[in-house]
Structure 1
Amino acid sequence: MGLLLIKLALQNLLFFGLHFEGRNNFPKQLSRKEEAECLKKVAEGDSEARDKLIVHNLRLVAYIVNKKYPDCKDPDDLVSIGTIGLIRAAETFDCSQNNRFSTYASRCIDNQIKMHFRKMKHKQTELYISEPIESDAEGNALTIEDIISSDINVEQLAELKIDSEKLYRFIAEELDEREREIICKRYGVADENGRICRPMTQREIAKQLGISRSYISRIEKKALEKLRGRFERGR
């Protein structure tokens, strides 16, 4: 389903461009009769009807973005994100509930945008110990728990959302310069100069620093053990 949503979003990228020129250039909204006929076909698995329903409701996405997020610096990005919510609405709408599609779609669009903001906030201020960070040789997702020795109990830590201010303080107080550098690069944590980069793999860090991946892994593991101990001790 996720790949399908992305594919559909890309297929409709042309219509995102209409937002740049003004909402009046979006295709007109379907009449109630046209919408009912379209929804019936969608329920029967008609992909063309689904795409038609999406295209003729794109102005709804722009309306929600303009009304609820007027101060957003990147409204075009929100239109793209909201369109994913619209696609999801077209995929999951239940005609038997006697609700207007626009009402249901509005909720899906707004929820998709809100979810985007939550993810952005988490990326900037929080580090999830249980979040997958890369894959092992067999393609299985690896988390921080997997990197730390299996004899360490991290069941409670796995669900902990680490406050960024406390995290930065602990990193500064507990880790040496090399450990801080690797942890900041590894998890996209802001460095001492406030710079935030995307999380890097161990291979990328090793190549950048000119040292082996196994050495990076050992330093990372040691640093995480230090931080885990500090969080267990509290303040």
Structure 2
Amino acid sequence: MKTFPKPLTAKEESYYLKKYKEGDLEAKHILIERNLRLVAHVVKKYQYVEEDVEDLISIGTIGLIKAVATFDMDKGNRLGTYASRCIDNELLMMFRQKKKSSKEVSLYEPIGTDKEGNEIHLLDIIENETASVTDQLTLKEDTKKLYESMEKYLKEREKEVIKMRYGLYQKEELTQREIAKRLGISRSYVSRIEKSALQKMKKGFE
């Protein structure tokens, strides 16, 4: 990890905060630059995730910039305490967004078509709550095809990942990171297995 400027002393911090409050943008830049070491410190908590450290520092720096812009020095707190929370929140928000995006991409992956030529997604089969008898029968048939496709086209590890990822066969629904931890492999490897398995199931469905 690269070297960052020394942090400001309490006296220096107070001086530059006052200058920034008066409209001095150079003071803002100094407050940000001299607190970059804090960003690196917070990022260390996430050293075991798959993300690149430089990317995490960039995201964390956004949190620092927001902290400097919204900090109220009149409340008597140090900027570092407030900024740590802002940096952490920015990183957690990024992780949640990536997790959500990853799940959405997989769930809405088309895996085949129904009798009328409409696309069928994995989400349709797992969470379909339609009440009509016809739709229930169609759902039952598609679910059967889904499981048959899994058994026929997927390897054991692929089946295990899909079962855990989507809570199939009464398995607990897990995130990619939770599956990675349980299987002792990386999250990116779980992602590749999931993507490959869905492609195979799509072909099987067709």
Shorter chain as denominator, the TM-score bin is 0.5 to 0.7
- Partner residue in 1 for 2:130: 233
> What aligned pairs does 1:29-178 form with structure 2 within 5 A after superposition?
29-66=7-44, 68-73=45-50, 74-126=52-104, 165=107, 167=108, 172=112, 174=114
In 1, the alpha carbon distance for the partners of 2:22 and 2:114 equals 60
Query: Over aligned residue pairs, what C-alpha RMSD do you find?
Result: 3.1
- What is the letter of the counterpart of residue 74 of structure 2? S
In 1, the alpha carbon distance for the partners of 2:59 and 2:115 equals 39
Structure 1 residue runs without a partner (length 5+): 1-18, 128-163, 190-226
Q: Which structure has the larger Rg? A: 2
TM-score, normalised with respect to structure 2:
0.54
Does the residue aligned with 2:48 lie in a helix, a strand or coil? Answer: coil
Shift of the 176–100 alpha-carbon distance from structure 1 to 2, 3 Å rule, reads farther
Higher helix share: 2
Shift of the 176–32 alpha-carbon distance from structure 1 to 2, 3 Å rule, reads farther
Shift of the 233–47 alpha-carbon distance from structure 1 to 2, 3 Å rule, reads same
In 1, the alpha carbon distance for the partners of 2:15 and 2:116 equals 66
Alignment coverage as a number of residue pairs? 129
In 1, the alpha carbon distance for the partners of 2:109 and 2:104 equals 11
Does the residue aligned with 2:66 lie in a helix, a strand or coil? Answer: helix
Measured against aligned partners, the alpha-carbon deviations of 1:79-126 in whole angstroms (never above 9, x if no partner) come to 000000000001100111111100000000000000000110111102
In 2, the alpha carbon distance for the partners of 1:113 and 1:175 equals 45
Report how far residue 44 of structure 1 moved: 1.6
Report how far residue 46 of structure 1 moved: 1.3
- Partner residue in 1 for 2:160: none
In 2, the alpha carbon distance for the partners of 1:84 and 1:30 equals 19
Q: Calculate percent identity across the aligned residue pairs.
A: 48
In 2, the alpha carbon distance for the partners of 1:71 and 1:33 equals 36
- What is the letter of the counterpart of residue 96 of structure 2? R
TM-score, normalised with respect to structure 1:
0.48
Measured against aligned partners, the alpha-carbon deviations of 1:115-143 in whole angstroms (never above 9, x if no partner) come to 0001101111027xxxxxxxxxxxxxxxx
Report how far residue 168 of structure 1 moved: 5.1
In 1, the alpha carbon distance for the partners of 2:10 and 2:69 equals 19
Report how far residue 53 of structure 1 moved: 0.2
Report how far residue 231 of structure 1 moved: 4.3
In 1, the alpha carbon distance for the partners of 2:5 and 2:83 equals 17
In 2, the alpha carbon distance for the partners of 1:173 and 1:71 equals 40
In 1, the alpha carbon distance for the partners of 2:91 and 2:102 equals 17
Shift of the 91–231 alpha-carbon distance from structure 1 to 2, 3 Å rule, reads same
Does the residue aligned with 2:23 lie in a helix, a strand or coil? Answer: coil
